[in-house]
Structure 1
Amino acid sequence: MPINDSSGMMTISDEGKLVVLNGQGDFLWSSNVSLGSNQSTAQLDDDGSLVLKSGPNGNQLWTSFQEPTDTYLTKMRLSANARTGKKRLLTSWRSSSDPSVGNFLVGINPSGIPELFMWYNGHPYWRSGPWVGQKFIGIPGMPSNVYLRGFSVQPEGDGTITLSSTVDPVLRFTYVLTSRGKLTEQFWDYEKGGNLVDIQKFSEGGADLNIRLAYTEFGKEKHN
C-alpha cells in the first residue's frame, strides 16, 4: 500500500522491527524480524544497504539487500531455487513517479544453464543467454571479461543459483530496472555529479539493455 502524502514515517517498533507507518499510525510494512524488545538499531551502510541490528551485540537481523526493489547495487545477491521456486528479484516501479510494484521482474532462471530473465506480467520477455563462466553469451557486445569486474553466477548447493557482485563499492555501479522494462547500467561520476552517457544499447524481444558510463570516462575512450 503506497503512502499518498508526506505524513509517512519509518521507525523501530516496540518489538524491535523496522516499520513504515502512514500518517494515522497504521502499519504498511515491517522487516518481519524482531528482538521482542526495542533494543535494535537501524543503520545505512556505505554500500547502500539499510541494516537492522540487535542492540547489545550489533548482530544483523535484516538488510534491505534481502528485499531488492528496482535497483541492483554492489554486494546484492539475486537468486532462484529450482526446487522450492523461491526467487529474489528486481521489481520495476509502476511508473517513473509511482514506486508501487510494476509489471517487470528481473532475476535468475535456474532451469538448465543459469541465465538472466526479464518477465512482463509473469511471462518471459527477455533473456541474457546462458552464463558461461565469464559473461552472458546472449548479450551482444558484452565484454568477455565481465567476470573480472566481480560478477559471478554460482550454485549454492541446495538448489539455489545466485548472481552476485563484488565490485569495489567506490566505483558505484548500479543496475536499474525501469518501469518500461529497460535494464540500465549506471556509473556515478563524482566530477559531473552523476551525469551519465549511454555508450551501448541492446534490444531483444522488445526489451532494451542500456550500458552507461560517466561522461568523463566516455571522453577518455573517445580520445584514446
Structure 2
Amino acid sequence: MGIDIMGMAYLYILIISLQHCRAADTLTKDSSISLEQTLVSANQVFELGFFNPGNSTKRYIGIWYKDIPERKVIWVANRENPLSVSDTNSSLIIVNDGNLRIQDGESNIIWSTNVRVQFNETTAKLTDTGDLALNDTVSGSILWESFDYPSNSLLPGMKLGTKGKTQGKNLLTSWKSDDDPTTGEFVFGLSDEQPPQAFIWHGSKPYWRSGPWDGGKFIGIPEQVSGYASHISLMPENPQEGAYLVVTNKYNSYDIRWLYLRPDGVLHLNYRDDDRNKWNFTWRAPENPCDVYGVCGAFALCTNKSSICECLTGFVPQSKDEWSKSNWTRGCVRQSELLCDDENSLTAGKTKPDEFRVLKGIKVPDHHYHFPNTDTNECQDLCLSNCSCKAYAYVEGIYCMVWKEEDLMDIEQFSFGGENLFLRVSYVESGKCKFLLSSKRVSINFCSCSQFMFLEDFVYEPNKILGEDTQGAELLISLTTIGGVLLLGGFMFCLYRWTTYKKGKQIYLVIISVNGEVYIYFDDLQRENTRLYIGKKP
C-alpha cells in the first residue's frame, strides 16, 4: 500500500512537470516572466526573456533564436523605454484587462500591448515562427502579435508592406548601435509606387534601392537570379494588405533565413551555419560603393571601375573641377541639345530626330512612370513623342517604364544581370555620325545626318572626337595620317578656288564622306547650324 501511494506521488509530480513543460511557451494571468525566466517555443526554436545588450546598463524584453551561442535578438518590446539593470523586480505579466504588460519593480507601466479585449480572457504564446501572439481564449482570435510591429528583423511569416493590421506601413528600423536597441538612423521598407521597390532610407533620404519588382525578382538585385538572395519575395497588391515583402524558407523549415538591418544601414540575409553553429549571410546590401543611392549624382553611371563614375552618353560633368577630385555628387548635364529643346531646328526641320542609345546590364534609374499595357514599340513611341521623356526600358513582367520630369538618378552597371535602358540623345550623340578628317592640332568631322561641318580641338579630347568607333591607338594614328593628307588637299583646293570666288562666283568645299561627296558652300559656314572651332578649347 505504501508503495502504491509512493508511486502515485511520483506519477503526480511527473504529470505536473509535463504540464509545466507544455506550458513553457505560454503566459497566462496566473504566471509571469521575471528576470531569470523565459518563454520557449514548443520546438525550442525561439526564446523570450529579459536581456541587456553588450555593456549596456539598460534592460529589455526581446525574442531571439534559442541554442545559438551568438545571440541575435530579432524583436524588442520596450526598445524606446528600457528598464534599469538595477531594477531586479521587473516582470512581464497579463493584467486584468487582458493586455500584456512590462512593469518595473514599482509596478509602473513600461510597455503594454494596449488593445481592446472584449472578455478579458487572454494568453500570450511564443510560436515556433518567432511570433509572440496575444490570444482571446473565448473567441480564439489573435488580438495582437509582435509580427505586426517589427524591430530590425524580418522573419519567415512576417509581412513588410504598405498596409496591414496596423493601418500603416510596416518597416524595419535599425538599432542605434549594437548595444542600444533604441530606434536608429536607418529604415527598410517598400515604396508605394507600382511596381514597388524596396528601399533602405537614411533618415528621409534613400540610401539603397532594389529596383522595381518584375513578378519574380527585384530587377536591381542581380543576386536573386543567381540564388543568393532568392529567399526574398514580394506578394502582389491586394485591397486588404497592399503589396508586402516576405522571406521564405524555400527548402525546409530547418533552412533558417531572415533579413537583418544593421545599425550602419547594411541589410543582411542571414542563415544558420550548422557546421559552426553560428550566423552567416548569403547576401547583403549595399555591397559596394555603387550600391549606395545616387553616389554618382544625376545622369551618371556607376561602374565599379577605378574611377567609379562616368557621365552617360551625351552628358558632361556639371563641375569638371569637382569631378576630377572624385566628388561626383553634382552629377552630369546634357552636352548636346535635344531636338525637342531646340524650337528653331524643330520648326525648320533642320536636324534629324532624337535617337536612343542602349545601355546594357543596367540597374534602371529611380522615379519611373509605369505603362503596363504597352509593347516595346509603343513604349519607344511613348517616350519619343514626349519632349520631357529622357529614357525608357521594357522589362518582362513589368513592361513599359519611362523617365520624364525627374533627373536620371541611381544608375549602376552590373557585372551580370541587369536590364537594357534606352537613353534619349540628340542625333549627333547617337553614334550614327561619321568622322572624316583629323590632325594632331585640328580635326574636321562631318555628320552626314545634319549637314554640319565641325573643326574641333583634337589634342585635349581625342576620345570624344572618335566616340565609340575608336578601336585603339592604331585607328587613331591611321585617322590622323589620312586626315592630315586630306586636310592639306582641301587647303590647296580652297586656295585654287579662291580666285574664282574673287570673280564673284559661288564656291563650295567638297568633303568626301562615307556616303559620297558632300558639298558645303562657304556661305553656309556663317549660318547658325554650323559650328567652327579652331585651336585649343578654353
- What band does the TM-score fall into relative to the shorter chain? 0.7 to 0.9
Pick one of 91, 100, 120 that aligns with 2:173.
Answer: 91
- Give the Å deviation of 1:19: 1.4
Any idea what SS the aligned residue of 1:87 has? Answer: coil
Decide which structure has greater helix share: 2
Amino acid at match of 1:3: L
1:49 aligns with 2:136: no
For 1:158 and 1:72, locate their aligned partners in 2 and report how far apart those are by CA, in whole Å.
Answer: 20
> 1:193 maps to which residue?
277
Q: Within 5 A, what are the aligned runs for 1:55-204? A: 55-81=137-163, 86-143=168-225, 149=231, 151-157=233-239, 160-167=242-249, 168-196=252-280, 202-203=287-288, 204=291
Any idea what SS the aligned residue of 1:171 has? Answer: coil
- Give the Å deviation of 1:41: 0.6
For 2:194 and 2:265, locate their aligned partners in 1 and report how far apart those are by CA, in whole Å.
Answer: 24
For the 8 Å contact 1:47–1:169, the answer to whether it is kept is no
Rg larger in 1 or in 2? 2
Decide which structure has greater strand share: 1
> 1:3 maps to which residue?
83
For 1:159 and 1:35, locate their aligned partners in 2 and report how far apart those are by CA, in whole Å.
Answer: 23
Identity of aligned residues (%): 31
> 2:536 maps to which residue?
none
Amino acid at match of 2:100: L
Moved more, 44-53 or 85-94: 85-94
- Give the Å deviation of 1:150: 7.2
Moved more, 16-25 or 31-40: 31-40
For 1:12 and 1:55, locate their aligned partners in 2 and report how far apart those are by CA, in whole Å.
Answer: 13
- Closer/same/farther in 2, CA of residues 188 and 200 from structure 1, 3 Å limit: same
- For normalisation by structure 2, the TM-score amounts to 0.35
For 1:47 and 1:10, locate their aligned partners in 2 and report how far apart those are by CA, in whole Å.
Answer: 21
- For normalisation by structure 1, the TM-score amounts to 0.79
Amino acid at match of 1:41: T
For the 8 Å contact 1:130–1:136, the answer to whether it is kept is yes
Amino acid at match of 1:135: K
> 1:210 maps to which residue?
none
For the 8 Å contact 2:173–2:261, the answer to whether it is kept is yes
For 2:267 and 2:230, locate their aligned partners in 1 and report how far apart those are by CA, in whole Å.
Answer: 21
For 1:129 and 1:65, locate their aligned partners in 2 and report how far apart those are by CA, in whole Å.
Answer: 26
- Closer/same/farther in 2, CA of residues 160 and 189 from structure 1, 3 Å limit: same
Amino acid at match of 1:196: N
> 1:205 maps to which residue?
292
- Closer/same/farther in 2, CA of residues 148 and 104 from structure 1, 3 Å limit: closer
RMSD (Å) for aligned C-alpha atoms:
2.7
1:186-205 Cα offsets, whole Å, 9 max, x none, are 11133422242667762321
For the 8 Å contact 2:257–2:271, the answer to whether it is kept is yes
For the 8 Å contact 2:161–2:241, the answer to whether it is kept is no
Q: Which has the higher contact order (CA 8 A, sep 6+)?
A: 1
- Give the Å deviation of 1:166: 4.2
For the 8 Å contact 2:247–2:258, the answer to whether it is kept is no
For the 8 Å contact 1:131–1:153, the answer to whether it is kept is no
For the 8 Å contact 1:109–1:117, the answer to whether it is kept is yes
- Closer/same/farther in 2, CA of residues 198 and 149 from structure 1, 3 Å limit: closer
1:43-96 Cα offsets, whole Å, 9 max, x none, are 110111111111235321111100000011001000115xxx920000111110
For 1:73 and 1:130, locate their aligned partners in 2 and report how far apart those are by CA, in whole Å.
Answer: 22
For 1:10 and 1:176, locate their aligned partners in 2 and report how far apart those are by CA, in whole Å.
Answer: 26
Q: Which runs of 4+ in 1 moved over 4 A?
A: 144-150, 197-201
- Give the Å deviation of 1:40: 0.7
Any idea what SS the aligned residue of 2:243 has? Answer: strand
For the 8 Å contact 1:135–1:145, the answer to whether it is kept is no
- Give the Å deviation of 1:38: 4.5
Moved more, 108-117 or 35-44: 35-44
- Give the Å deviation of 1:113: 1.8
Any idea what SS the aligned residue of 2:208 has? Answer: strand
1:74-129 Cα offsets, whole Å, 9 max, x none, are 01000115xxx920000111110101111111001012320101111222211111
For the 8 Å contact 1:156–1:162, the answer to whether it is kept is no
1:140-199 Cα offsets, whole Å, 9 max, x none, are 433266897472331012582211344354321111001110101111133422242667
In the alignment of these two chains, the number of paired residues is: 204
